[in-house]
Chains A and B, each alone.
Chain A
Amino acid sequence: MSDPTPAAELSLTGTGTGTGTGTVTGRGLLGDAWLELRRSPMFWISAILIALVLLLVLVPGLVADAEKTSSLTGGCQLSDSLQAPSAEHWFGTDQQGCDVFALTVFGARPSVTVGVIGVVTTTLIGVVIGLTAGYFGRWVDAVLSRIVDVFYGLPLILGGIVLLTAVRLPGIWGVVLVLTLLGWVPAARLVRSTTIEGKNQDYTLAARALGASDGRIMFRHILPNAIGPSIVLAVISLGAFIAVEATFSFLGLGIQPPVFSWGTMISDAQSVFFAAPWTLLFPAAFLSMTVLAFILLGDAVRDALDPKARRA
């Protein structure tokens, strides 16, 4: 006997319900969304862009030569400093004579890694705090909501500047720490409000009448129905977090040499921008395309999860 999730139960309209056998063959919330998504051109555009970025993250060596990113291996010659884009150096060279194309390809991994880890941690914290506050209400909600207010009062960039200046934990983990500590607030607010909505639904009442425990109601009934908006927020945040990493690296507080990301490349290119704009524009273009791809994907997923929103 399968154990249908509430999401599956809800979408059982019209499709084979298999009542006699006790098995359920509904498509489920995510299955429905997938059918919608497949028809959306925006989804395919963003999916292709993201696939390309993932290729750079996972196997940069396929696309470019790692040696050309460092002077230690002799891949960068100072005599090649600041050359304009050419057949040999597609994106030109930077001040050290390194190939900007190779740097851009290899810079993808730190940028995207920070964003992905940040999204996972903030979503987990947001779900736990939002679900707890929304489900238990009363003083639990009052206390947690005040904590959320306090964190809401501290802008991410300003808080991150203090933390990274004081803690001196530069590099990927410093930025991840900032995102985790200060970036969970929107996720928690969202999950709290969707939880409060779901708590008053009939299916929650039904589950409680059947004697389901708090934990079961929260994770098997409320959360699956509240997860849609959280997925959208997570996807959009991924793009935003990649941009935040670039901002901290730009300020000199993020990723440090010898590791480099799109943010550090842009930061390094500042002083030579007027003379050699390609050193800044190529990593910036990759960064912007990645952020844009995740925003488009988030929009497409939201439309797929909530068909009503599309008509407005």
Chain B
Amino acid sequence: MAIVGRYAARRGLQFVPVFFGTTFLVYFLMFALPGDPLANLSVGKQANPAYLAYLQEQFNLDDPFFVQYLKYLGGIFTGDLGQTFRGQSVAEIFVERFPVTLKLALTAFVFEALLGVGIGVWAALRKGRFIDNLSLAGSLILISIPVFVLGYVAQWLFGVKLGWFPVAGISAGWPMAYILPAIVLAALSLAYVLRLTRQSLLETLNSDFIRTARAKGLPPWTILRKYGLRNSLIPVVTFLGADLAALMGGAVVIEGIFNVPGIGQQLYSSIRLGEAVVVVGLVTALVIIYLLVNLLVDLLYGVLDPRIRYE
């Protein structure tokens, strides 16, 4: 347990510079580039003097750049991410909408893990046969089609034409309203998980200890379960862990298309309205969640795989 503790402490320490660096990067992207930040942030609002004054105050634009950043960082820690044009707090919007995004991301994650690993194992066991070629070709196509195209086609086919799922919105509740957007959200990662699982399992099945197990006359199912999967799923689990965070951030387009009232949909509409303060606030919050989930997965991974702790 002491080793796990030391690993956790080391990993936590590494997190600190990344946290400050990444939030600084977000802030830098917004303000340190050429151009008048006020003019940039108030596009479309006809530079209403009251709003300009609000921006000036919200982002402490009178202070030197580093002081601005520190004050902004202070805002993050005290939950102050700014306000919308109508005076609603961005932090409130985040708290209100995050559960929806989380539910969508977790549903997508289940599809990604179950279907990706399942089909990947199936394809590896039938290498060179029909199902293998079909899954390889299918995953290539999934990787090539932009996610928003996939979204519209799925919405049209399964929502409008076939009527299997609600076309948009979440009034049908979980799981019916979430299935379609979750599958589309998971599609790209699912293709990667499938290919990674197949490749990794094929490599493992070629190794000597599998041949030994076969020679001993163990049943194929036992060989797969006890020797094949255990050794080949490590890179897959690593990918899945890192992807959980990416799913939450990647929902912008999907939530926009399927009208799922999560963070992504708010971002989508705020971008279109030009509400820069909301956009930046929500992205900052998402990036922090992304970093935290990655940290958590890393810690969990250290518990699961002893080799990681000693690196």
Q: Which one, B26, B31, B268, contacts A251 given CB within 8 A?
A: B268
Q: Mark A271-306, 1 if CB is under 8 A from B, else 0.
A: 001100100110010011101100110000000000
In the assembled complex, the CB of A226 is this many whole angstroms from the nearest CB of chain B, namely 22
Given contacts A150-B18, A167-B35, A292-B140, contact A157 B249 (CB under 8 A): yes
Given contacts A158-B287, A166-B33, A284-B145, contact A247 B253 (CB under 8 A): yes
* B238 located at the interface, meaning its Cβ lies under 8 Å from any Cβ of chain A in the complex: no
Which chain B residue lies CB-closest to A181? B29
Is B287 in contact with A167, judged by CB distance below 8 angstroms? no
In the assembled complex, the CB of A245 is this many whole angstroms from the nearest CB of chain B, namely 10
Given contacts A252-B271, A252-B272, A295-B140, contact A162 B30 (CB under 8 A): yes
Which chain A residue lies CB-closest to B270? A165
Interface SS majority for chain B: helix
* A250 located at the interface, meaning its Cβ lies under 8 Å from any Cβ of chain B in the complex: yes
Q: Mark A120-155, 1 if CB is under 8 A from B, else 0.
A: 000000000000000000000000001101110111
**Which residues of chain B from 59 to 97 have a CB within 8 Å of any chain A CB?**
none
**Which residues of chain A from 234 to 248 have a CB within 8 Å of any chain B CB?**
239, 243, 246-247
Is B145 in contact with A251, judged by CB distance below 8 angstroms? no
Stretch at the interface among B2-10, B36-44, B100-108: B36-44
Q: Which one, B24, B271, B290, contacts A161 given CB within 8 A?
A: B271
Given contacts A251-B252, A273-B156, contact A153 B283 (CB under 8 A): no
Of the candidates A154, A251, A274, the one having the most CB atoms from chain B within 10 angstroms of its own CB is: A154
* A12 located at the interface, meaning its Cβ lies under 8 Å from any Cβ of chain B in the complex: no
Is A155 in contact with B140, judged by CB distance below 8 angstroms? no
- Write out the residue numbers on chain B whose beta carbons fall within 8 Å of the beta carbon of A167: 29, 33, 35, 40
Cα A284 to Cα B280 with chains together (Å)? 29
Cα A251 to Cα B279 with chains together (Å)? 13
Chain B interface residues (CB < 8 Å from chain A):
14, 17-19, 21-22, 24-26, 29-31, 33, 35, 37, 39-41, 43, 140-141, 143-149, 152-153, 156, 160, 199, 202-203, 206, 246, 249-250, 252-253, 256, 267-268, 271-272, 274, 276, 279-280, 283, 286-287, 290-291, 294
The 7 tightest CB contacts between A and B, nearest first, are A150-B21, A292-B144, A153-B22, A166-B30, A284-B149, A291-B144, A163-B29
A-B contacts, 20 listed (Cβ < 8 Å): A146-B17, A149-B14, A149-B17, A150-B18, A150-B21, A153-B290, A154-B287, A155-B287, A159-B25, A161-B283, A163-B29, A165-B279, A168-B35, A246-B148, A251-B252, A251-B253, A280-B149, A289-B144, A295-B144, A312-B202
